[in-house]
């Protein structure tokens, strides 16, 4: 088993978050993929954050965290919003989701 921190862009804090939801090795993370791993983080209580989501994608591709741009970033944003709505704020009304997106209401803890 290879340490999660062996993957570029995965530091000790991100490693700790992944381990807290049962993702303990680089091999396991690669096998799961970014979407499944991020879904598990949200279901485990992590607050959704788009940058963390796309950093995970870039990490699994061996790319710098800030390499995500343009159409690729837009596509990842759509996928992030889908995962977030299914895993984090499924109990919210559509109005509450929109208010959260623009930063008007607090995200439940």
Query: Against a cut of 0.85, is the pTM above it?
Result: no
* Polymer length of the chain: 109
- What is the Cα–Cα distance from 41 to 72, expressed in whole angstroms? 22
Residue 109 pLDDT: 47
More confident residue, 87 or 48: 48
What is the rounded CA–CA span in Å between residue 73 and residue 11?
Answer: 22
Domains delineated in the chain: 4-101 (1.10.150.20)
Tell me: pLDDT of 14 over 50.
yes
Judged against a pLDDT cut of 70, whether residue 54 lies above it is answered with yes
């Amino acid at each position: 088993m290879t340490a999660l921190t062996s993957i570029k862009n995965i530091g000790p804090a991100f490693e700790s978050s992944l381990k807290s939801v049962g993702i303990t090795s680089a091999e396991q993370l690669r096998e799961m993929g970014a979407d499944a791993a991020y879904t598990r983080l949200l279901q485990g209580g992590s607050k959704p954050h788009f940058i963390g989501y796309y950093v995970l994608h870039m990490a699994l591709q061996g790319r710098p965290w800030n390499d995500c741009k343009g159409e690729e970033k837009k596509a990842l944003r759509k996928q992030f919003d889908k995962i977030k709505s299914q895993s984090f704020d499924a109990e919210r009304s559509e109005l509450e989701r929109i208010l959260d997106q623009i930063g008007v209401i607090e995200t439940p803890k």
